Amino acid sequence: MTALTALALNCTLKPSPADSSTDLLLSQVMTELGTHDVTGTTVRVVDFDVRPGVETDMGDGDEWPKIRELVLAADIVVIGTPIWMGHMSSIAQRVLERLDAELSETDEQGRPILFDKVAAVAVVGNEDGAHHATAELYQGLVDVGFTVAAQAATYWNGEAMQTVDYRELDETPEAVANATEILARTSAHLARALRAQPYPAAD
Amino acid sequence: MTALTALALNCTLKPSPADSSTDLLLSQVMTELGTHDVTGTTVRVVDFDVRPGVETDMGDGDEWPKIRELVLAADIVVIGTPIWMGHMSSIAQRVLERLDAELSETDEQGRPILFDKVAAVAVVGNEDGAHHATAELYQGLVDVGFTVAAQAATYWNGEAMQTVDYRELDETPEAVANATEILARTSAHLARALRAQPYPAAD
Amino acid sequence: MTALTALALNCTLKPSPADSSTDLLLSQVMTELGTHDVTGTTVRVVDFDVRPGVETDMGDGDEWPKIRELVLAADIVVIGTPIWMGHMSSIAQRVLERLDAELSETDEQGRPILFDKVAAVAVVGNEDGAHHATAELYQGLVDVGFTVAAQAATYWNGEAMQTVDYRELDETPEAVANATEILARTSAHLARALRAQPYPAAD
Amino acid sequence: MTALTALALNCTLKPSPADSSTDLLLSQVMTELGTHDVTGTTVRVVDFDVRPGVETDMGDGDEWPKIRELVLAADIVVIGTPIWMGHMSSIAQRVLERLDAELSETDEQGRPILFDKVAAVAVVGNEDGAHHATAELYQGLVDVGFTVAAQAATYWNGEAMQTVDYRELDETPEAVANATEILARTSAHLARALRAQPYPAAD
């Protein structure tokens, strides 16, 4: 069996090279996935001109098709998002909107094109919102054909209304590291299981 | 003008006399409302046999009608909820379900019976979920006829995956006290404005 | 391999024997699961005295332990919920609250006790709310250890603000039947894959 | 008293001059507001280069400041959004992210700069999601200082998984027209009441 691959989509609002807490958490996820023989790539979505719309290619310089190719090539897709106003970022919602187009794409067996791929979630914010962002992402990703492993989310946020960022912490809290470890372990296992036994097509 | 009154509905899962962090935050809200000449009552909903359903009275020992009378008599209703699984409690959702019945109730002018009443929200959890619980509550309460003042929510939750309760803190964080102060100031003002100038009926 | 089993939890607000649209949709899910050699049981949760709280047994006549036994014995758990105020029902949230206790339960390998079980979702309402209820349920269920298959939700709701119930339709809309078929196909496949290849424990 | 003004922000994904169902519903809202002597302007946000970020001006050609001026000048702000994947659009979330900056802006009395402004919501989708988009918008808008009138949302969506658009309907459903009428009546009244009696500053 060829090695599994993971794609992390960083949905921060800040273009490179600005520091990103989401980037830090995603790098920890990718490191953990590495211990399960998953090799990965991380893309900062805001660095690309991803047009609003719900087609696979909105034309006219739209750079989503570059990211879409990476999505289609990956076994595991990890969406990393900051929290703004208690919600996932506008970039994360933009990614879901663009993935919506895949609902009409099928493979040679007539199955949705994203079947057998596993999705996981990483959320960071100063305070409050990770469970909700996770809920929105799971639902959107499962709707278009991803599968979600047990406890496939890791997150950090501080106390209510505080302002320290994840990347400013002296060390990674043990509970976060533990959640990241579980996400990687279950998602890698599930992707491998689906590689070995893909979903059947409709009769 | 007669004094304004507030009703706080504590939607904790724990029957009296168990300690409740939600109760603590609601008592702080009621104290702040007191400084604006609003007198209040707090009810722990789980102490009543509030039946599942969407009628004003489900019969057969249903105790919602007792709470409903207090709702109809109040100028301000504050919903206090703990966070479980990142969501408002099942008791809070039960309250919304029972308030749903008011959509078919109108006053002598044909206006929805809850018009001119103001709703506010208080949320506490160990970690993560306050904005989402607030969103769900605002929407449900506005749908049935309540009005929501500027910044009408106060909340506390700790760092991701930590376990200390609000009532165990040595002191109330200044940011929480500040949010509570604003909630009381804007909600009392708005309730007074709507008392003086009620919503017009349809032509 | 012994046959797979499914448990459907009907989270309607209406005690038996009242007609339930959720019951109808769940029965369609169970029939489809049957075509994949999954045998099932449906429980109407509101018929049991499920106490508020977050322990596996709240004592004093709490009937959740009876339902919990069925959950622990099932390979697939389907949560069926009506929509009230745009949200899943208070009964569905109650189920999530009670499942929260499983976060501290582990099996003989030290894995969360719900690992290797698959969850799916069925939502019905007169109008509007299925995606949101699905999001809340996926997140809560994955948090406690369930795995979610591709497109593991089926739902129906009518046009905005209309009042016909699912069980009053002349026939099942084709799109709903199709969603139900997919849910059963992917969930049965995934449960079988996880039976064959359970999640590994932490090193 | 000078006339009240309303600003409608159309958060469709489609740049002008493409037809927009959101635009149709917003135009109906604006017409109804007109019957209450509120004059209005509608802006299609996607026609402007609104940069990701949470500052009032992200610089470098950012066109949010043009829209921000209109927000600050309006008494009533109506957010209109389509539903994608069951959520408000990425453009609507972008608007909330940009409004987040106003949390640090105060007027000459030290009050949040958005105090005394009223927000309302209009949501359209093929199917399912209006209540949830409404919840997210109410919470975000109230957090930054807007006030929400009773029943301040209007919406349309069709039956589950159907594909007809609002702008393709032969006529406006009566329930939608009624919701739009109420939104306008309560929001105009509340904006007028807050113009006459602004929120007090902190002591």
What is the tens place of the pLDDT at every residue in B24-69? 999 999 999 999 999 999 999 999 999 999 999 999 999 999 999 9
Cβ of B129 within 8 Å of Cβ of A127? The answer is no
Residue C1 has pLDDT above 90, yes or no: no
- Mean pLDDT across chain B: 97
Residue D144 predicted with pLDDT over 70? yes
Chain A contact set for C149 (CB, 8 A): 142, 147, 199
Contact criterion met (CB < 8 Å) for C138 and A139: yes
Burial zone of D59 (CB within 10 Å; 0-12 exposed, 13-18 middle, 19+ buried): exposed
Cross-chain Cβ contact C13/B54 below 8 Å: yes
Contacts of A63 by beta carbon, 8 Å cutoff, 6+ apart: A48, A49, A50
Contact yes or no for A125/B130 (Cβ under 8 A): no
Question: Closest Cα to residue C146, out of A151, B179, B116, A21?
Answer: A151
Question: C185, A197: Cβ pair inside 8 Å?
Answer: no
* Chains contacting chain C through 3 or more C-beta pairs under 8 A: A, B, D
- Beta carbons within 8 Å of B167's beta carbon, 6+ residues apart: B19, B20, B21, B23, B24
What confidence tens digit (pLDDT) does each residue in B153-188 have? 999 999 999 999 999 999 999 999 999 999 999 999
Chain centroid to CA A98: how far? 14
Of C14, C84, C143, which is closest to B85 when you measure between CB atoms?
C143
What are the tokens at D148? 């929400």
Q: Are D134 and D142 in contact (CB under 8 A)?
A: no
Q: Where are the domains of chain C?
A: 4-196
Chain B residues touching A129 at Cβ < 8 A: 128, 131-132
Question: Rounded mean pLDDT of C83-92?
Answer: 98
Query: Looking at the predicted structure, is the pLDDT value of residue B1 above 80?
Result: no
Tens of pLDDT, residues C54-79: 999 999 999 999 999 999 999 999 99
d(CA A202, CA A111): 8
Confidence of residue D166 (pLDDT cuts 50, 70, 90): very high
Paired tokens of D139? 């919470």
φ, ψ of residue A110 in degrees (nearest 5): 85, 10
Name the nearest CA neighbour of C117 among C3, C7, C2: C7
> Which of C128, C158, C162 shows the shortest C-beta gap to D131?
C128
Q: What is the pLDDT of residues C3-29, one digit of tens each?
A: 899 999 999 999 999 999 999 999 999
What's the mean pLDDT in D174-191? 98
At residue A203, does pLDDT exceed 90? no
Q: For tokens 């997210």, name the residue.
A: D136
Q: Which of D156, D159, D162, D170 to mutate to test the interface with C (most CBs of C within 10 A)?
A: D159
- Predicted local confidence at residue D1, as pLDDT: 61
**Angstrom distance (rounded) from CA A125 to CA A82:** 5
Query: Searching chain D, which residue's CA lies closest to the CA of residue B195?
Result: D193
Contacts of A182 in chain C (CB under 8 A): 202
CB contact under 8 A, C158 and D156: no
Tell me how close the Cα of A26 comes to any Cα of chain B, in angstroms: 17
**Which chain A residues contact residue C182 at CB under 8 A?**
202
Maximum Cα–Cα distance for chain B, whole Å? Answer: 55
Query: Using CB atoms, which residue from B115, B148, B185 is nearest to D138?
Result: B148
Average model confidence (pLDDT) across chain D = 97
The architecture that CATH gives domain D4-196 is 3-Layer(aba) Sandwich (3.40)
CB contact under 8 A, A90 and D86: no
The beta-carbon neighbor of C158 closest among D86, D134, D159 is: D159
Are the Cβ atoms of D87 and A100 closer than 8 angstroms?
no
pLDDT in tens, D85-136: 999 999 999 999 999 999 999 999 999 999 999 999 999 999 999 999 999 9
Residues of B in contact with C96 (CB under 8 A): 84-85, 87
Question: Least CA distance to C197: which residue of chain A?
Answer: A193
Residue of B nearest to A161 (CA): B175
Chains A and B: how many Cβ contacts under 8 Å? Answer: 69
Q: How far apart are the CA of D66 and the nearest CA of chain C, in angstroms?
A: 34
